[in-house]
Chains A and B, each alone.
Chain A
């Protein structure tokens, strides 16, 4: 078992609900509301340094009481360790987990995809929109078990709704522009842009 589990138990106590090892990979089931806090510690603590988030996704089981769980895959490059965190969303709880976007920027699209496919809300994500399906997709969250594989509407209706979308609406210049990311650019690049150098448009 991954030695991180003991450290987690010591630090977070009852928030660590269960830990199993399957095929040499450790899965830790943690309390839904404390995920961000736990991931923050795993990321920041020099003895853990899980600095790479390789996936955020969700699983729906055919289990009426325990349908959904959200899964995070973390990797510690320094210690060559892999850790899988899970948060269970039992029936009746809101489909909400804290976003880890403030810790890992890479969580941005992963959380959007997970929201798009399962409808899990990541509280604290700055821009939680659909990623794969188009905006205005009306059939729900397609990887949920209650969606028939063919979708809810007839083919003609699906096609009508799809064709009603404006193909250019999603690719606005603003969305693609560098301006939003300006503050995150390296120092020297910012200096060059400030001096009026063209960005190559």
Chain B
């Protein structure tokens, strides 16, 4: 037979001798393949990590190789939010609003220790992990992560995108925050997530 499955086994092609061939595939495989290789990032750079993000996007590391040719500086034309840097509480409603402005399908990468956990800024002003504000798909550790780290995170995200199934649309449901508190995870979980760790547990609580 001339039917040859490709290694991914999602693509089957038929190539009769001398004639025009055809290819069959699953629709969601094709869609995911397209999406994964043309992610448009929206850089949300708030601190030093953004510098490393710029390095990743610039000539030496060149995010364009992974289909991120176009940085989207408007959330409405973006697919993946890359939060690079610490987010103070004052910026929390802004980040939430930007996330809500992005159309589905959308993903989020939390780049660096600060965006993922608050990092060394365990204080009154900094959000302890942006996952308390928006859902995050990939966390990239490091302070700052090297461009290789970010690119690895992006490739992990591409793997995740390729594994989505059209039959299971639940992953694309927009998370609605609680209308009164605007939180989308319970307060107890937020407190637990943002508990101090490492040296921060010993920090002074002044009695003055």
Q: Which residues of A contact B (CB under 8 A)?
A: 62, 64, 67, 132-134, 139, 142, 145-151, 154-167
Asked if A134 and B90 sit within 8 Å, CB to CB, the answer is yes
Given contacts A62-B208, A150-B122, A151-B125, 20 further A-B contacts (CB under 8 A): A133-B125, A142-B125, A146-B206, A147-B206, A149-B204, A149-B205, A150-B123, A150-B203, A155-B132, A155-B190, A155-B193, A159-B89, A159-B127, A160-B183, A162-B93, A163-B133, A163-B181, A163-B183, A167-B96, A167-B97
Given known A-B contacts A146-B206, A148-B206, A159 and B132 have beta carbons under 8 A apart: yes
Q: Which secondary structure dominates chain A's binding surface?
A: loop
- B124 interfacial contact with A, CB 8 Å: yes
Query: What residues on B are CB-neighbors of A67 within 8 Å?
Result: 208
Given known A-B contacts A139-B124, A149-B123, A154-B191, A165 and B93 have beta carbons under 8 A apart: yes
The bracket for how many chain B residues form the interface is 20 to 34
A-B contacts, 26 listed (Cβ < 8 Å): A67-B208, A132-B90, A133-B90, A134-B89, A134-B90, A146-B208, A148-B205, A148-B206, A149-B203, A150-B122, A154-B187, A154-B191, A155-B190, A155-B194, A156-B188, A159-B133, A159-B183, A160-B183, A160-B187, A162-B89, A163-B93, A163-B133, A165-B90, A165-B93, A167-B94, A167-B97
- B4 interfacial contact with A, CB 8 Å: no
Asked if B205 and A156 sit within 8 Å, CB to CB, the answer is no
Cα A149 to Cα B107 with chains together (Å): 33
Q: Which residues of B contact A (CB under 8 A)?
A: 89-90, 92-94, 96-97, 122-125, 127-128, 132-133, 177, 181-183, 187-188, 190-191, 193-194, 196, 203-206, 208
Cα A139 to Cα B94 with chains together (Å): 21
Q: Which of A64, A145, A162 has the most CB of B within 10 A?
A: A162
Minimum CB–CB distance for A170 against chain B, Å: 9
- With both beta carbons as reference points, the residue of chain A lying nearest to B93 in the complex is identified as A167
Pick the contact of B183 from A62, A148, A156, A167 — CB < 8 Å?
A156
Cα A167 to Cα B204 with chains together (Å): 32
Pick the contact of A149 from B89, B92, B124, B187 — CB < 8 Å?
B124
- With both beta carbons as reference points, the residue of chain B lying nearest to A67 in the complex is identified as B208
